[in-house]
Structure 1
Amino acid sequence: MRHIQGGLKVALILAIDDAATDLALIQYILTNHEVILARNGEQGLQQLEEHPQTDLILLDLHMPIMDGFTFMDRYHELNLDIPIIILTNTEEVAMEIQGLEKGAVDFIRKPLNFKALQMRIDVQLRLKQSTELIKEHNRHLEELVEKRTREIRRTNEITINALVRLLEVRNIETSDHARRTKIMMELLCKQLQKVKPIGYELSDKEIQELIDTAPLHDIGKVGIPDRVLLKPGKLDPDEIAIMREHVNKGVEALDYSIESEDSKISFIEMARTLIASHHEWYDGSGYPEQLRGLAIPLSGRLMAVIDVYDALTSKRVYKEKLDQAKAIEVMKMEADRHFDPVVFEAFLQVVPQINMRMQE
């Protein structure tokens, strides 16, 4: 691409003016650039349709058929981002202000001065060139961020799958466990996002992290002895205490060192919070911290409902599975004590969708 003095690129400039002498003068002054001409606003719009790559517009305000103000109104409908310099007479101060209010970036008074016109145009072209470089740089950064985000998501998925496989190897969960919990968490979160109860707001990023981390809620069970974990009968008090240690073991499994609050990893923090609180009961009778009500993190209140439903509708070493209707009946019996009422109501609304998705 050809450049002129100072590294400025040769520009395509649209001059719109009904005065032939002014158009001829503009062409003469701007010999370093490519200039296309229009005698009124209507012709100017036609030129823009043919040349959307135009870099700058010089616009007279007094023209037949379509004046400069009407042109500017119509121009904005085209969603183009081309700087406009208006051409005015010395006494037209009010019109200059009106033109600037409509989006013009500058004005030049007639009769046209060679040096003033050249300098004003150079300033606007340099600004446009710099803006385009910044936009291109930002697009490149956005592409890098998007690529890095995809890599992080993929790394997270691999990490989760590896950890969940540990549960499968121990015969604690089936390979479908991760899929079930993800489906339920997705539908439950989106239902809350839809009805928007105060205090239950979830961003798209938070929902995605909840979906991704839901399968990790019982990862601490890999540290529980087989004699307790796989016992087919009822656990005694000592065994219950051992089993409950899976919560702390799960949190510890995801422990990592941080230098400051800024270095916390959002994804891991969500998983740790979910693991730590998903066995808390709404009435404060849960474990390990006996948290009550809204003191329980929302991630834990969400996972509590999902975990119970999944446990009731899945076969375990110590029990057979229940059908969905019976499972909901059992959950309703203890809902007042166990579950956040807002979360439980949202869950009941999506049970039909859950059942449909499970059959896919």
Structure 2
Amino acid sequence: MPKTNDQTILIVDDAPENLTVLSELLQPRYRVRAATSGEKALRIAGTDPRPDLILLDVMMPEMDGHEVFSRLRADPLTRAIPVIFITAMDSTEAELSGLEMGAVDYIAKPIVPPIVLARVHTQMELKQARDRLSDQNAWLEAEIQRRMSENLLVQNVSIHALARLAETRDPETGNHLHRTQGYVRTLALRLRNHPRFSAYLDDHIVDSMAKSAPLHDIGKVGIPDHILQKPGKLTPEEWVIMKTHAKLGSEALEQAERDAEKPVKFLTLAKEIAHWHHEYWNGSGYPDGLAGDAIPVSARLMTIADVFDALISRRVYKPPIPFPEAREIIAKGRGSQFDPDMVDNFLAGFGDFVAIARRYSDNASP
């Protein structure tokens, strides 16, 4: 059997002569540490280099082997160290008791050197195999996390690239995407404890809504420039065309959803937001005239976020308005344009929304 200097065995026995016998037997092959009491054994086991295996005498004064074993298992630093019980109690009941506690093996005194060496070697091999498997699992988990992070980054970059594509058609929106995304996340988080929304707005849904928010106007890619960038008021005919951007956006996202190999939650929410974020609580919005709770939660959140940001931002057809005036307009829309409970939470946390607007200011907001 080759010498293995990097493997450590802790021998615990209150009889020095027993420690001497086992140390002389094992030292040619392993690094050996010794303890004559349970307390000392626990201290050694908890310090580096931690033992790869513990040979633990059962019959010891003050703290017997069973108590030592229980305390080893209770400590996260030592609970995984395999333990072989060594005792003069040569009975099936004693052996079963030790194995039922979780010991990996049981050796009776007086020891038989070849048997001790064989059993120790077996447990050391098993320990090395477990360590290799643990290291491999840790590496795999880290690799999975790395790839998931990369995929998430690519996903987020792709979302913003698509949203920026729409934004290039309407260049005066500036940081509109960042602001509305922040508004949606903040308002959703404020509503998580509300009885109407708590069962739906879990962490995953809130994250997916915020991720989806920048795609709310993706359908504007399909609106002609002379309408989208018109500095004055749209004619009734032009307004009909402008309103089609909601359906155009949802149809594009629905096609992307169909092309996916499996359902993608944020695409479902993005489709809801794109299609219905111009619906009104009282049913007077577009494109489908939905009312009340028939409008998806995601779209209702986006409606408040989009309107608030449009009010405080400069557009080709209007200057920005001050935050207090924007607040009053949102408040007046409670129960008509907007979900009343959402408005209440928006108003209660208005300072948070102002902070987001200032953080991502186009230097044209009030």
TM class by smaller structure: 0.7 to 0.9
Unaligned runs of 5+ in 1: none
Q: Which TM-score applies when normalising by structure 2?
A: 0.81
Q: Give RMSD over aligned pairs.
A: 3.3
Partner deviation per Cα, 1:153-173 (whole Å, 9 max, x = no partner): 332343234333334432354
Q: 1:334 — aligned with what?
A: 333
Q: 1:48 — aligned with what?
A: 45
Secondary structure at 1:339's aligned position in 2?
coil
- 8 Å contact 1:282–1:340 — kept in the other structure? yes
Q: Which amino acid aligns with 2:77?
A: N
Deviation at 1:14, TM superposition (A): 0.8
Asked if 1:216 corresponds to 2:215, the answer is: yes
Q: Which amino acid aligns with 2:227?
A: V
- 8 Å contact 1:14–1:36 — kept in the other structure? yes
Secondary structure at 2:170's aligned position in 1?
coil
Asked if 1:66 corresponds to 2:63, the answer is: yes
Secondary structure at 1:37's aligned position in 2?
strand
State the distance in 2 between where 1:57 and 1:134 align: 21
- 8 Å contact 1:57–1:82 — kept in the other structure? yes
Secondary structure at 1:335's aligned position in 2?
coil
- 8 Å contact 1:86–1:96 — kept in the other structure? no
State the distance in 2 between where 1:74 and 1:305 align: 58
Q: 1:133 — aligned with what?
A: 132
CA separation of 1:173/1:162 partners in 2, compared to 1, >3 Å: closer, same or farther? Answer: farther
Asked if 1:273 corresponds to 2:272, the answer is: yes
- 8 Å contact 2:2–2:29 — kept in the other structure? yes
- 8 Å contact 1:69–1:99 — kept in the other structure? no
State the distance in 2 between where 1:104 and 1:190 align: 49
State the distance in 1 between where 2:271 and 2:40 align: 65
Secondary structure at 1:256's aligned position in 2?
helix
Q: 2:11 — aligned with what?
A: 15
- 8 Å contact 1:15–1:36 — kept in the other structure? yes
Deviation at 1:73, TM superposition (A): 4.7
Deviation at 1:306, TM superposition (A): 0.9
State the distance in 2 between where 1:275 and 1:16 align: 70
Deviation at 1:109, TM superposition (A): 3.7
Asked if 1:151 corresponds to 2:147, the answer is: no
State the distance in 1 between where 2:303 and 2:136 align: 45
State the distance in 2 between where 1:329 and 1:352 align: 14
Secondary structure at 1:153's aligned position in 2?
helix
Listed as ranges, the matches of 1:54-93 within 5 Å are 54-75=51-72, 76-77=74-75, 79-80=77-78, 81-88=80-87, 89-91=89-91, 93=93
Deviation at 1:78, TM superposition (A): 5.4
CA separation of 1:93/1:294 partners in 2, compared to 1, >3 Å: closer, same or farther? Answer: farther
Secondary structure at 1:248's aligned position in 2?
helix
Listed as ranges, the matches of 1:97-136 within 5 Å are 97=97, 100-101=100-101, 103-114=102-113, 116-136=115-135
Q: 1:34 — aligned with what?
A: 31
Unaligned runs of 5+ in 2: 360-366
State the distance in 1 between where 2:234 and 2:106 align: 85
Partner deviation per Cα, 1:38-61 (whole Å, 9 max, x = no partner): 111122123224434321112223
Deviation at 1:293, TM superposition (A): 3.8
* Stretch moving more, 172-181 or 187-196: 187-196
- 8 Å contact 1:167–1:173 — kept in the other structure? no
Deviation at 1:304, TM superposition (A): 1.7
- 8 Å contact 1:164–1:219 — kept in the other structure? yes
Identity percentage of aligned residues? 36
Q: 1:238 — aligned with what?
A: 237
State the distance in 2 between where 1:218 and 1:293 align: 22
- 8 Å contact 1:189–1:202 — kept in the other structure? no
Deviation at 1:267, TM superposition (A): 4.1
State the distance in 2 between where 1:341 and 1:116 align: 78
CA separation of 1:9/1:342 partners in 2, compared to 1, >3 Å: closer, same or farther? Answer: farther
Q: Which amino acid aligns with 2:50?
A: Q
State the distance in 1 between where 2:333 and 2:17 align: 89
